[in-house]
Amino acid sequence: MARGTKTPPPADDFVENITDIDVQDEMQTAYLEYAYSVIYSRAIPDARDGLKPVQRRILFSMDELGLRPDRSHVKSSRVIGEVMGKYHPHGDQPIYDSLVRLAQDFTMRLPLVDGHGNFGSLDQGPAAARYTEARLAPASMTMVAALDEDTVDFEPNYDEQFQQPTVLPAAFPALLVNGASGIAVGMATNMAPHNLVEVVDAARHLISHPDCSLDDLMKFVPGPDLPCGGQIVGLDGIRDAYLSGRGSFRTRATVRIENVTPRRKGIVVTELPYLVGPEKVIDKVKDLVQGKRLQGIADLKDLSDRTKGLQLVIEIKNGFNPEAVLEQLYRLTPMEESFGINNVALVDGQPRTLGLKELLKVYVDFRIDVVRRRTQYRLDKRLDRLHLVEGLLIAILDIDEVIQVIRTSDDSGAARSRLIEVFDLSEAQANYILDLQLRRLTRVSRIELEKEQQELLEAIEALRAILADEKLLHRTVSSELAEISKTHGTPRRTTLLESSGTPAAAASLEVADDPCHVLLSSTGLLARTTTADPLPEGGTRRKHDVVVAGVSTTARGEFGMVTSTGRLVRVSAIDLPTMPPTSGAPVLSGGAPVGAYVDLTPGEQVLTLTSLRADSPGLALGSRQGVVKRVNTDYPSKDTFELITLKEGDSLIGAVELRTGTEELIFVTTEAQLLHFNADLVRPQGRSGGGMAGIKLGSGDTAVWFGAVDPQLPNAVVTVAGSADALPGMDSATPGSVKVTAFEVYPGKGRATGGVRAQRFVRGENVLVLAWVGPTPPRAAGPTGTPVDLPEPDDRRDGSGAPAGGPIAAVGGTPR
């Protein structure tokens, strides 16, 4: 059973005194005290050193522990315990959070703590304090430098057992360089990081020109410099913030649009807005795509690693405008964020909203005071030392008498008094002589003392000059800032943009079905261009400038590729990379290989491109065994189908889309025979037909080229001779003789005849390795697509060729 307790009676002299308190006044007073505590002791940084109390206490404690950059790391838990036990009687987690922030290079523009271990990322928190280690970063040594030289005031800690600095000496403007964020009661601060070099230059300019304007300072500090880079769009808000202390600006990711696969373009993100992690972007994009609020995205991959850094690859669907998709990403995802500047900091213990000039002025005035106090401290120390040295020199000059005085004295007090009286010394000098070691009485010691005396006199003169001349003091501060900038400064990371340019949202999200040209280069690259004339006459010759086939279509249309096995493969033009328009010959080096659009069997090649128009006169095909065929245009809707039934061992060597049906069909053989006849002589056949005889071939002769030309236009015949004994695969790459002749000098013959001689072989030549007939001017290219000059046209139909300027692998011209 519980026992009842009795309240003891009050003492006899007890007088009851009940005070009535207004609850409203008591709550107001308590709340104000709490608010002041949060503002001054926790959330708002000091405008002088840019630190909150917990950050200042962390750096001070680490400096006391000797955790300098040249020492080894220690466990973060040890630092937290030191800070919490001596200076910051709050929870260990807030202290660790502050320590982590000081070490994160993606948060601080110039980290003040050198962390070892997992200090977190933009998407994940740090490891526990027992797993991580820390020490002071090189930059933080400038924050605590000269702390023991009476540069700042100290105050008792919470239990008055230790002394702590009210502010750190701060050799650079840490508040502007690293920024700050904090929420107090009734106010908050949110400051963006800046570039150290720019801020120091502005501070030095302010020292030299105290009456300078904001525009003068913004020549040095044009805007924030975020640790993660990125872009800042719109500078008006920045100027407002620098003027009044409040403003906002937009930060956006740094991206580039490129071909991420041979068939698709993509947006590669290399830098994100300040404090935005890749996981946040990925999750938002996935939600938008699944909710069908974001269109045009096929895939998103995070390829970030330690070597390449951040790399998010957003693959765009074919048929969508990458610029318009990017504008949607900026509008709907964290790839573009707004940063609100609120420069609230403590000045003389009071929270104030400061512009750029005010922030710099508070720091410069503080730094001047620090250097003045440090100079006075060093002067006093050197004066004290000089006083002792001078007394010691007096004693050394009369050392025997000094020893006699000391030996004949009853005690140290009497010796001190007699020394002061006999040698006219001060008490400090007399004590120093009494503490003197006998080894200091040598001749060498006297020389050293005289040298030290001279050095002290020079140092004292220099220090007095700084204190006596305000301009020299300012120059000293400025030069120290310049040295800090040179040692710890880094190039700007963030790009500043006046505006975002023409909004891409104004453009259609999907690519318009505009007319375009699809081109095939000699090196097997495909591309489409919107240029009205894809192959203008003349212009500068460039790599891959030999176009062996071209077809007109629309951006969302289809075209066909004819292969050497007699297949036709449908391809969508929207899948092709788009080449920018040029004033000269097209540049197809950015095209995609044909292998990305069709699976080719070993030995199979793409011969030409063709439209799929139903009103076309059809295709004309020519095979290696001299077979010719015209194919009807009733193509099936299948993606791949056969155009001709070829005999065993035969293959197509050429295919051309007819325009009028009255073109001249041309065969050129390895024996240098050329035959041309009118297309009317070949009746159209269905796709299963095997064709008919096109050219009569001699023993061992094969057709090397087949095509068609309009006889009403100027055309040229290009033949390249070589040796049949060349190594396999080297015949077309070996320089031989090349001949260019006007097509009109070749008489026409009937179909299935042998044709006429096109080139006379010289010694070492016995075969044509390459031929081409087409509109002038012809263009030749080597195996890698580099241009090769052709000789002047030859009037002789059966003449010999001229030495080639290099290996010729392909010849092309301007398609009509």
Residues acting as catalytic residues: 131
Distance of CA 330 to the CA centre of its chain: 18
Within 8 A by CB and 6+ apart from 176, the residues are: 50, 191, 194, 199, 221, 356, 359, 360, 363
Distance CA 769, CA 755 (A): 18
The distance in angstroms from the start CA to the end CA of the chain is 113
DSSP 51-63: --HHHHHHHHHHH
Residues forming beta bridges with residue 232, ordered by sequence position: 251, 496
Distance CA 124, CA 120 (A): 5
DSSP 620-657: EEEETTSEEEEE-S---SSSEEES--PPTT--EEEEEE
Instruction: Decide: 189 and 344 in contact? Cβ < 8 Å.
Output: yes
Backbone CA torsion sign across 409, 414, 419, 422? negative
C-alpha to C-alpha distances, 122 to 107, 248, 273, 494, nearest whole angstrom:
9, 22, 11, 18
Instruction: Decide: 561 and 598 in contact? Cβ < 8 Å.
Output: yes
DSSP state of 764: T
DSSP 190-252: EE----HHHHHHHHHHHHH-TT--HHHHHTT--S---TT--EEE-SHHHHHHHHHSEEEEEEE
Distance CA 84, CA 276 (A): 31
Quote the tokens at residue 195: 């570039």
Distance CA 277, CA 123 (A): 5
Number of Cβ within 10 Å of residue 532's Cβ equals 9
Within 8 A by CB and 6+ apart from 729, the residues are: none
Within 8 A by CB and 6+ apart from 85, the residues are: none
- Write out the H or E segment, with its range, that includes residue 453: helix 443-468
Distance CA 134, CA 59 (A): 11
Report which of 189, 252, 195 is spatially closest to residue 222, judged by C-alpha positions: 195
- Write out the H or E segment, with its range, that includes residue 189: strand 188-191
Distance CA 810, CA 785 (A): 8
DSSP 37-48: HHIIIIISPBTT
Residues in the chain: 816
- Write out the H or E segment, with its range, that includes residue 366: helix 356-397
Within 8 A by CB and 6+ apart from 28, the residues are: none
- Amino acid letter at 511? V
Q: Which long-range contacts (CB under 8 A, 24 or more apart) does 554-557 make?
A: 554/513, 554/514, 554/515, 554/516, 555/511, 555/512, 555/513, 555/514, 555/515, 555/516, 555/528, 556/319, 556/511, 556/513, 557/513
- Amino acid letter at 778? P
Report which of 160, 168, 146 is spatially closest to residue 45, judged by C-alpha positions: 168
In what order do the strands lie in the sheet containing 810-812? 787-788, 779-781, 810-812
